[in-house]
Structure formats: structure tokens, C-alpha cells
Amino acid sequence: MTETPAAPLTVLSEDETMFAEAIGSFFREVVGPKVHEMDKNQKIDPGVLKQFFEMGLMGIEIPEQYGGAGGSFFMACQAVEEAAVVDPAVSVCIDVQNTLVINALRKWGNEEQHARYFPKLTTDWVAAYALSESNSGSDAFALRCKATADGDDWILNGNKLWITNAGEANLFLVFANTDFDAGYRGITAFIVEREFDGFTVGKKEDKLGIRASSTCELILDNVRVPAANVLGPVGKGYKVAIETLNEGRIGIGAQMVGLARGALAAGIAYCQEREQFGRPISQFQAIQHQIAQAAVDVEAARLMVYNAARLKDAGLPFLKEAAMAKLLSSQVAERVASKMVEVHGGNGFTTEYPAEKFFRDSKIGAIYEGTSNMQLTTIAKMLLK
């Protein structure tokens, strides 16, 4: 499959370009041959997951003293993007680990929590972010999971739904309310280990796309969590959630950009091979224009994502830019993936070619970590305040 360039040199530094090229090659050569099988089996190959840890992809921003790569948020987004060029399903596994859970632990965790969990997260522990429930999706703070104080511990009861990485995860960042009378100001973040008594990973969802990525229900039945596992102050979980998701939107934007790049690369390769009327269909202006427009859309979305990630790393305001990047990249991914199915013609409707998988995988971008409507609301509020 023809691969698009790793990045314009005007956008990436030399080190960032080398990083993108190195991990891009890894995903194409090692993950690429397993994509169809993982999608069919609805499971990430354990050997592939092990290699993610060995390459340092599961702890990019964790400081080197804890075994991490000591990289930037931008580098984490690069890894997410390059993974999605090959398989958006494995990309979201890396994304949730880095841009959500590790990001939250870095900002809100104390030194003891860092020392206890960072070495595990860089070695072999997958992490999951457990906020959503059956009645709290976009209305995230309508959650009903309850935390009750019991001496120095907390007892958690409730259910979580649609939790990415739950099938493989050892560590879960769980949000529960310690005081429903206080509304969202009672929400608290807890670090929950898979082996805690009363904690169960339930039903695995059978999904349209990103099928190798596990999405499961969590059941909390009198789960005892030590006070030492409260992340941030009690009652400040809403801030942990909001700030982490603001950053996570950029990660999803990177995933959607990578997906669109992968779909476009597949379309470019196919149209140069497929012949009709005695010549490759790439010689027809109708196909050329579709390819060109898709390339423009991908580059525009990519630059928006990069800009938001740069702002975040620089400590500058990025909320509006993150929402815009997530919105546009998800729209571009769906549009480009759909158009590349058409470029493939009848073959695009079969599982023999990658176009149909990119198309299936693209739809989730408008839904998770903040729907497109929620991004529009955020953008409007920022512009009109």
C-alpha cells in the first residue's frame, strides 16, 4: 500500500519526524499484517500489545525515572496518528492509555501514586477511563455510581458502560459521586485495580467499527478502594474529568487524522492499479479531483490537531482549538473514508480491501470523547462568551 509522507518538515522538528517515521514503519510492518485477523476476532493480538510496551508507546509522557519515554503530549498524539494509519482500533488503545489516564495521573496524582503505578503502566499494565454510564453520556455528570466513606476506605457501587480498553486493562480510572446532594461537586476520581474485590468486567460490546478495541461494561459491587487511591481532592473529580477530556479530544483528533490518511493512501494505491477503459482510473479527472480534495481535507484537519497539541504542550489555552480539531477531524475521517470506498468501487464494499474497515471505524469519531454536537456547543460558547 502506498504510504503518505510522515509529515511536512515545516510542521515537525527533525526528532519528531524521525519518531513518526520509525513508529509508522513499525505499525505498517508489524501491525499491518494482523489487522484483518484482529478485526475479525474482535481482539488485539497479545503479542502486538506486548510490543507496544517494549517500544515505550504505552508510557510516552511518563518521566524516564519511572521507565517512561519522557516525551511530550504532541509525541503521544503522533503515536496515535501513526497507529491509526494502519489500524484505528489499536490506535485508540494507545490513545486512552496516554492522553486520558496517564495524563490525568501526571496532573492530579501525588508522588506516591506516580511511584506505585507509573512503572506498571510503562511495563505491562493497560489502563481504562471509566466515566460513562447508561444515563450519563454527553451529560457526563449525571452519573449514578456511588462512593461511600468507610473508615479510611471508600466503597464503590454502580455500573459503567462503553469503557474502552476494559478487556485488557489492569487499572481503571473510575468516577463516582461521594455526595449526591452536592451534585457534580460530589464527583471524585478513584484509581481502581482489576483485582480489587467486587470489581468485575462485564459484557463486551459487539461494535460496528474499531472491533479489535475492547469496549465493556464494568460492575462495581461493594468495591473497597483505599483512600490512597483517590486521584486528586475528594469532590474534584469533575475537574479531573473535564480537563482530561479536553486534552483527550486532541488525541481522538489525531486518531481520525491517521484514519483519514490510511484511507486516502489505500485509495491512491488502488486507483493506480485498477484499470477501466484501457487505463488506470487514476488518469480520469473525476478520480483525481476526489483524491485531491481528500488530501486537502486531511491536511487541514491534521494542522488543526497539531496546533491544538502544540498549544497544550506550551501551556496556552487550547479548549476551543481542541474542540475544533476533534470536530473537523472526525468529519474529514468519515468523508474521506466514504469517498475512498467509492474509489474502490465494488471492491470497496468487500473485506478483501481495507477501505470498508476504515469506513466502519470512522463513525465513532463523531461520538466518543464528546459528540460532534457537544463540540459545536463548546466552540459556540467560547466564541460568544
Instruction: List active site positions.
Output: 369
**Residue 276 dihedral angles phi and psi, to the nearest 5°:** -145, 145
CA dist., res. 321 & res. 250, Å (int)? 9
CA atoms within 13 A on the CB side of 15: 4
Task: Write down the residue that cell numbers 515537525 correspond to.
Answer: 12
Specify whether the CB–CB gap between 61 and 250 falls below 8 A. no
Residue 337 in grid coordinates: 473514508
* Amino acid sitting at position 86: V
Is 259 in a helix, a strand, or coil?
A: helix
Q: Which DSSP category does 133 fall into?
A: B
Per-position DSSP letters for 159-221, written without gaps between them: EEEEEETTTT-SEEEEEEES-GGGGGGGEEEEEEETTSTTEEEEEEP--SS-TTS-EEEEEEE
